[in-house]
Amino acid sequence: MAKSTSRFVCQSCGSVFAKWTGRCESCGAWNSMVEEAAPAAAPGGLAKRSGRGGKAVDFVSLEGPAQVAARMASGIAELDRVCGGGLVPGSAILVGGDPGIGKSTLLLQSLGRMAGTASAAGATGATGAASATGATGDTSHPACAYISGEESVDQVRLRARRMGLEKSAVQLAAATSVRDISATLDRPDCPKVVVIDSIQTMYVDNLESAPGTVSQVRASAQELIRLAKARGMTLLLVGHVTKDGMIAGPKVLEHMVDAVLTFEGERGHQFRILRAVKNRFGPTDEIGVFEMSDGGLREVANPSELFLAERGGRQVSGAAVFAGLEGSRPLLVEIQALVCPSPLATPRRAVVGWDSGRLAMVLAVLEARCGMVLAGQEVYLNVAGGLRIAEPGADLAVAAALVSAASGNPVPEDHVIFGEIGLSGEVRPVGQQAVRLKEAQKLGFRGAYLPPRRQKEARGSGLKELRLEEISHLSDLVAIFSQNGR
């Protein structure tokens, strides 16, 4: 009788070790080792083995005709924006996010709008896994399939009924075996769009490890992506995240897919942000804004107006409106700051929605270059609406909110602020200034504090109704808000 052996696999990077250790020597992760049965041979996927040798690969030149596949509209304009204009046939998209953030709701809502309304025959045939390959009743809509590995068919139907999608021609199935799913979908009349919810629940039966482990996630994703490329269908994978916010499973999973989308949002806010982390068919700096409601996710056509809707009519110190840019979309958001004396030896620095290291840099520049004393003060910074900002152009708006909170003089409510701050205190220009100013003018703002502009930009802006005040050094901004009566 052969002796059974086991191995220890790191769930963060997939490295294999002969014995358990508390810390992975490859990636440095702690308590990530899981014992798995060692396979008798290296897994070969679901394909049958053959004794034939390899086939020579044909090389071609870079010059030549390239077929560009037409994109499919997902039915949700914000999702199309993040994907680069729509779904590409034969692509694999990974959607990750915290539990309960709305990943399954977003994808089911998208499938329901793409599939259209089912006929009576199509609706009755959408109960089994085998019906996932059938056509919808309406030939003008692509065939769509939703395969759930976490919820039962009845649970998915309840969600669809709550969103008003119970009449949609979405083919529904509950399965976790990759072999069964591959046998169902590997047909000429396969669906054009397939959602797998989630990839961590799928398993390949020739691997002895449990679903969700590194080897199972890697093998399951490889087989499903191979099938999607061969049949030309769009594959949407739902991915779990760890407690650190990273997508669970091997890092190679993000390299295997064509696009990685993250769904962000705070539990206390109704806003949800869909952000592209990786996209082979479009930009990676676009975002989609949604609002969670009882009937599902609602698209936000003008996020700036929504983020600024809760601003009070009275002027309050410590609040500044930042004119930002997320991809090709201008976005206006309020930045709030609070500065107060600290009874502690080490004052607190709390940040929500911005980089804490960048806040420390702005505070250091204010003290070293502008003479402000903030060492014994507690500083609290918040980006209203639950949005996270990573753009350096928010430095000047953060500094304005801090100076306003420290001096008690409010920032003019009809002004927007943007600009990058250097370590010497100089204010550096940022890109797409005209786009930011046009968005501010459209929302009723009358002025802006901004970095110095070149003469060409000043002549071609066409924004004569805005009162523009250029700030070349941070000390100039401090002098403006330090005046009494502002």
Q: What are the pLDDT digits (tens) for 232-263? A: 999 999 999 887 777 877 888 999 999 999 99
Q: What number is the average pLDDT over the span 130-146?
A: 58
- SS3 of 5, please? coil
Residue 62 located in a structural domain: no
Spatial contact of 149 and 174, defined as CB atoms under 8 Å apart: yes
Asked if the model's pLDDT at residue 406 lies above 50, the reply is yes
User: What confidence score (pLDDT) does residue 120 get?
Assistant: 35
CA angle 145, 146, 149 (to 5 degrees): 140
68 belongs to a structural domain: no
Do 337 and 457 fall within a single domain?
A: yes
Give CA–CA dist 126/377, Å, rounded. Answer: 63
199/249 Cα distance (integer angstroms): 9
Task: Return the beta strands (E) in 121-258 as ranges.
Answer: 144-148, 170-174, 193-197, 234-239
- Whether 312 and 237 map to the same domain: the answer is no
Task: Report the percent of the chain where pLDDT is more than 70.
Answer: 86
pLDDT (average), residues 390-401: 94
Do residues 476 and 430 both lie within one domain? yes
Residue 51 forms part of a structural domain? no
Residue 477 lies in a domain: yes
Whether residues 189 and 284 share a domain: the answer is: yes
Residue pair 6/16 in contact by the 8 Å Cβ criterion: no
Tell whether 217 and 95 lie within a shared domain: yes
Do residues 288 and 317 share a domain?
Answer: no
Confirm whether 44 is domain-assigned: no
CATH number for position 456: 3.30.230.10
For the domain that residue 105 is a member of, what is the CATH number? Answer: 3.40.50.300
Pairing of strands 319-326, 415-417: parallel
| Shared domain check, 326 and 296 | no
How many structural domains are present in the chain? 3
- Domain span holding position 291: 77-301
Measured CA to CA, the distance from residue 422 to residue 15 in angstroms comes to 42
Compute the average pLDDT of residues 80-92. 93
Co-location of 401 and 280 in the same domain: no
Contact status, residue 26 vs residue 10, Cβ threshold 8 Å: yes
Residue 54 is assigned to a structural domain of this protein: no
**How much of the chain exceeds pLDDT 90, in percent?**
50
Report d(CA 44, CA 386) in Å as an integer.
45
Same domain, 164 and 213: yes
Which of 241, 269, 301 corresponds to the end of one domain?
301
Q: Cβ distance 240 to 248 under 8 Å?
A: yes
- Would you tell me the crossing angle of helices 474-482 and 395-407 to the nearest 10 degrees? 30
| 87-101, 126-140, 213-227: least confident range | 126-140
Domain boundary among 301, 318, 348: 301
**126-130, 315-319, 329-333, 474-478: which has the minimum mean pLDDT?**
126-130
Q: In this structure, are 177 and 217 located in the same domain? A: yes
**Same domain, residue pair 220 and 102:** yes
Residue 184 domain-assigned? yes
Last residue in a domain, options 233, 266, 301: 301
Tens-digit pLDDT profile for residues 331-344: 999 999 999 998 88
Verify that 454 and 383 share a domain, yes or no: yes
State the pLDDT at residue 130: 37
- Residue 227, domain member (yes or no): yes
